[in-house]
Amino acid sequence: MAKILGASKVTVRYQVTIPEEVRKRLKIKEGQTLVFAEEDGKIYITTEL
């Protein structure tokens, strides 16, 4: 089973805050583009293609 790193609520503008643990692990910087990919019914978020 996958480890849960955090949770966020979706705002009325469909925005979410990325939990601190996720930001640290992916080394996300302000202004950086994130990539959303789907595979086998699961959605993945990454910092590169």
**pLDDT tens digits, 1-49:** 889 999 999 999 999 999 999 999 999 999 999 999 999 999 999 998 7
DSSP code of 38?
E
- Partners of 36 in the beta sheet? 45
Total-model pTM:
0.78
CATH code of the domain covering residue 43: 2.10.260.10
Q: Considering its fold, how many domains does the chain have in total?
A: 1
> Could you tell me the residue range of the domain that residue 17 belongs to?
1-49
